[in-house]
Amino acid sequence: MKLKTYLLLAALGLHSISQPVRADETSDAIGQLKSQVEELTQKIKALERNREIEKEAAEEKKKATPTLSAGADGFWFRSAETNFALRIRGYGQFDGRYYGGTARAARDTFTIRRLRLGLEGTVYQNYDYKVLTDFGSGITSTPANNAFLQDAYVNIHYWPEFQVQLGKFKEPVSLEVLQSDANLLFVERGFPTQLAPNRDVGIQFQGDLFKNRLSYAAGVFNGVPDGGSGDVETTDSEKDFAGRIFAKPFKTTDIAALQGLALGVGASYGRQDGALGTYVTPGRQRFFSYLSGAGALATPNVAAAGEHLRLAPQGYWYWKQFGLFGEYVLSRQQVKRVSGATANVARLDNEAWNVAVSYVLTGEDNAFNTPTPLHPVSFKEGGWGAWEVAARYGELSIDNGAFPLFASAGSARKISSWGLGLNWYLNKNLKFNFDYEQSLFDAGTVKPNTVTSQDEHVFLGRAQFAF
Amino acid sequence: MKTFFGTLIALSLAITAGYAAKTVTLLNVSYDPTRELYQDINAAFTKEWKDKTGDEIIIKQSHGGSGKQARSVIDGLEADVVTLALAYDIDAIASKNVIPKDWQKRLPDNSTPYTSTIVFVVRKGNPKHIKDWDDLVKPGVKIVPANPKTSGGARWTYLAAYGAALKSNNGDAAKAKAYIAKFYQNAPVLDIGARGATTTFLQREIGDVLVGWENEALITLNELGKGQYEIVYPSISIVAEPPVSLVDKVADRKGTRKIAEAYLNFLFTPAGQEIAAKHFYRPRNAEVAKKFERTFKTIPTFTIDELFGGWQKAQQEHFAEGGVFDQIFKDNR
């Protein structure tokens, strides 16, 4: 307003000094000058406003440059339009195991159960990739299984309904295997995972249908023993076919209590030669293995030798703070025992099942993935994080036909375990698990200080940091 | 084993029966001028939800240029719902597979709970005698629209002006293009967003005509600058449809799908429609529309589908790199 007045006065002053004129001419001139001043004022205001807008636009442009961010979900590098992204992720699990009882085979120990670092991201919008490595305790490299490399794959997803995934990743059979190690309810996975394949190299077709109410995956892989992973096929040229369908039928309905119900079935089939799986207790003690020797008369050897079928019905139900998880796996494997010139063949049906129930005490929604604390631990704001209690029961039964010819000495026919767990999620990144597990063996050995000669009582603790 | 499952189910029911009320937080990512609308919608919905379920809901709001807001959601802003200025911006989010491609079919009226149109606001007494679109391109008239490159509302404004020119020139695209070139020649300032354009016109006292959302115009008349401005309805304008959608991936991850869906459905209820009308958005509900018929003048309108073949085509032809807007803007320089 001041600017306008000054301009008007200046113009009038100049005008009146320059020439004496008649009243009507003066009035016209003043009118013209007024409109000129008004126009000038508008121009100046517009210039000022444009300068402000340019400044705002420059700030916006700054925001459109590639971003580097760090947060609870890891470290991100992203192009402005997000078609290219790289995320650094990782988690470490520091475990403690304490075995109760006086006569026992295992030693109480601290261990780095997993220490994983990974890269994942996207290129050209529709190509996702992931590489995950493990530096945990006891991770060694062998020709058949380089356990350092957990995942290494590319997922091509032009359409959510039909995606192609190639590389090394988890075979689509067991539900609990597909759950990330960082999201486990208990320190150790349930028995069904020991009969299912873990990570394998292959190609898989997968997709989500009907608004994510039904997902499917089907692929061809090298084939791995029960509970095993592999990078390369060294014993045969046969391939395993694996597939899984998983339905969340009520996900988009109004029935709130059933929206978190999911049911599915996974399966694999192939012919396998070579190594067989061994099975362990919740305390990681081996309670069953096949005979392993040179194949001579005094040192018989048992190996996979033919058809291998797995069947895995599975499901979960999460509603508000409550969670129920269950899975069954049948692993039917043809095996061959070689002892000098004698060979025995058998088809063995090993079975495992597991049911777990959990409840989040602090109000967060329970889910297949780790709950996110509503009030992360904070001394200033008084947050206590999220607390969860859990219980489970599971069994693993070995086919009676495995005894006595195929099983190693001291192996049990069956293990039954129950466990209780308390989980404390301090925030999205830090979690503590406290578990007690008790296991009973059927037809174990009586030899003292061996795994199956007595019940296993084990306390397991875990501190996990994940980002 | 049967006994075991029976025990588990009984245990499950016992535990879940003890479920207590809880607090849920939703984030609504919206466009520039809807701040006041959603403050009232949120208050009404949270009350209704608490009365119905006992649960507390905290609804957070985020506002900005519609395109920019869509980009933020794509970049990871954890929106449970988006309520943006145009379908093209929600399509952009859907292209990242966080919303189904057919999102617009999930709610009534193409997921658009309310509509608006493009009108003019002039200073008191209408000193430049602005009556229709042709008056905006006369020499000496300064108009204040926002920038179509950054503002959803400004794209509606552009399409309203271009469409009116097409209509008055029997569909002659060359004449419409010439008109739209003159239109932006008369704009001394192009603000980033619709609310910014209102600020330019009202507070900075720049220009003779504010061209934009009807709801912004009516707020200007009734609240921001009572008695200082007049609204001018052109002879024809566009039906502007700001749509809404659930952000499925976020809602599923946070477990808020049910509440977020209920929140969006609330917009279509008579209560939600009445709040929209009070904030000068044209309601879809016939009864509510009747109640507020004196607020909204009926004028002939056209839709984006009728004249421009939908948002994807309009975007490509007019606003994409090298499109009509870029061409005329380059020529105007």
Is the pLDDT assigned to residue B1 strictly greater than 50? no
Strand partners, A313: A265
Distance CA B127, CA B122 (A): 8
Beta bridge partners of A139: none
Q: Strands B56-64 and B81-83: what pairing?
A: unpaired
Q: Cβ separation of A60 and B196 shorter than 8 Å?
A: no
pLDDT of residue A145: 56
Q: For residue B200, give the nearest of A49, A82, A324 by CB distance.
A: A49
- Residue-wise pLDDT tens digits, A109-139: 999 999 999 999 998 888 999 999 998 877 6
CB contact under 8 A, B8 and A160: no
Measure B272 CA to nearest chain A CA, in Å.
Answer: 21
For the record, the structure tokens of B129 come out as 């005698």
- Give the A:B interface size as CB pairs under 8 Å: 74
- Which of A93, A280, A317 has its CA nearest to residue A183? A93
CB contact under 8 A, B16 and A320: yes
Chain B residues within 8 A of A357 when measuring between CB atoms: 8, 11-12, 15
CB within 8 Å: B97 and A212: no
How close is the nearest chain A Cα to the Cα of B30, in Å? 18
Cβ-contact B167, B236 below 8 angstroms = yes
The answer, yes or no, to whether residue A10 has pLDDT greater than 60, is: no
Residue B19, phi-psi category: left (phi > 0), alpha (psi -120 to 50), beta (remainder): beta
Token readout for A243 is: 């597939």
Helix axes B35-53, B270-278, angle to 10 degrees: 160
Of the two residues B210 and A49, the one the predictor is more confident about is B210
Summarize pLDDT for A279-312 with one digit per residue, the tens. Answer: 999 999 999 999 999 989 899 999 999 999 999 9
Mutating which of B19, B103, B149, B198 best tests the A interface, going by the most A Cβ atoms within 10 A? B19
Angle A177-A182-A184 (CA atoms, 0-180°, nearest 5)? 55
B150 vs A contacts (CB less than 8 Å): 57, 60
Q: What is the pLDDT of residues B276-321, one digit of tens each?
A: 999 999 999 999 999 999 999 999 999 999 999 999 999 999 999 9
Q: How far apart are CA A66 and CA A340, in angstroms?
A: 67
pLDDT computed for residue B331 by the predictor: 64
Determine the distance in angstroms separating the CA of B22 from the nearest CA of chain A, rounded to an integer. 7
* B201's tokens: 């016109």
Measured at the alpha carbon of residue A384, what is the angle toward residues A379 and A386, in degrees to the nearest 5?
A: 150
The yes-or-no verdict on residue B3 having pLDDT over 70 is: no
The dihedral built from the CA positions of residue B284, B287, B291 and B296, taken in this order, carries a sign that is positive
Taking 90 as the threshold, does the pLDDT of residue A144 lie above it?
no
pLDDT score of A52: 87
Is the distance from CB of A62 to CB of A76 less than 8 angstroms? Answer: no
Range A112-117 contact pairs with CB under 8 angstroms and sequence separation of 24 or more: A112/A136, A112/A137, A113/A137, A113/A187, A113/A462, A114/A181, A116/A90, A116/A91, A116/A92, A116/A150, A116/A181, A117/A88, A117/A89, A117/A90
Instruction: Give the chain B residue whose CA is nearest to the CA of A122.
Output: B96
Closest by Cβ to A160, choosing from B19, B97, B252: B97
Nearest CA to A278 among A288, A270, A268? A288
| pLDDT for position B12 | 45
Model confidence band, residue B127 (pLDDT cutoffs 50, 70, 90): very high
For residue A245, what pLDDT band results from cuts at 50, 70 and 90? very high
Question: Span B118-238+303-332: which CATH code?
Answer: 3.40.190.10
Question: What percent of chain B has pLDDT above 70?
Answer: 92
* Range(s) within chain B of domains with CATH label 3.40.190.10: 18-115+241-291, 118-238+303-332
Q: Which residues in chain A have Cβ-Cβ distances shorter than 8 Å to B20?
A: 363
Across the interface, whether the CB atoms of B252 and A56 are under 8 A apart is answered: no
Cα–Cα distance, B307 to B167 (Å, whole number): 9
Q: Does B3 touch chain A (CB under 8 A)?
A: no
What pLDDT is stored for residue B21 in this prediction? 52
Tens digit of each residue's pLDDT (9 = 90 or more) over A437-460: 999 999 877 777 788 888 999 999
Taking the CA of residue B298 and the nearest CA in chain A, the distance in Å comes to: 34
Put simply, whether B190 touches A (Cβ < 8 Å) is yes
- Whole-number pLDDT of residue A19: 54
Contact B192 A355 (CB under 8 A): no
Q: Residue A82 and residue B75: Cβ atoms within 8 Å?
A: yes
Give the residue ranges of DSSP H helices in B18-65: 35-53
Instruction: Look over chain A and give the mean of its residue pLDDT values, rounded to a whole number.
Output: 89
| Best to test chain A binding among B22, B74, B103 (most A CBs inside 10 Å) | B22
Q: Rounded to whole angstroms, how far apart are CA atoms A288 and A278?
A: 6
Task: Report CA-CA distances (Å) from A316 to A49, A258, A261, A263, A324.
Answer: 59, 11, 6, 7, 5
Confidence check: pLDDT of B215 > 90:
yes
Q: Is A259 in contact with B257 (Cβ distance < 8 A)?
A: yes
Question: Does residue B125 or residue B4 have the better pLDDT?
Answer: B125
Put simply, the answer to whether A53 touches B190 (Cβ < 8 Å) is yes
Interhelix angle B66-74/B152-168, rounded to 10 degrees, is 130
| Residue B50 predicted with pLDDT over 70 | yes
B14 touches chain A (CB under 8 A): no
B258 near A CB under 8 A: yes
> How far is CA A184 from each of CA A137, A199, B15, B135, B282, rounded to the nearest angstrom?
19, 17, 21, 68, 51
Cβ separation A50–B189 shorter than 8 A:
yes
Note whether B19 contacts A: Cβ–Cβ < 8 A: yes
Instruction: Specify the CATH number for B18-115+241-291; select among 3.40.50.200, 3.40.190.10, 3.40.228.10, 3.40.1160.10.
Output: 3.40.190.10
Which of A49, A161, A368, A389 to mutate: most B Cβ within 10 Å? A49
> Cβ–Cβ of A357/B252 closer than 8 Å?
no
The tokens 């566009």 sit on which residue?
A: B238
Given CB atoms, is B6 within the 8 Å cutoff of chain A?
no
Beta carbons of A365 and B255 less than 8 Å apart: yes
pLDDT at position B14 is: 42
Residues of B in contact with A60 (CB under 8 A): 68, 150, 192
Q: Which helix (H) or strand (E) holds A288?
A: strand A286-288
Contacts of residue A78 in chain B, CB cutoff 8 Å? Answer: 75
For B83-119, how does the pLDDT look when each residue is reduced to its tens digit (9 = 90+)? Answer: 999 999 999 999 888 899 999 999 999 999 999 999 9
A21: distance to nearest CA of chain B, Å? 29
Contact yes or no for B192 and A211 at CB 8 A: no
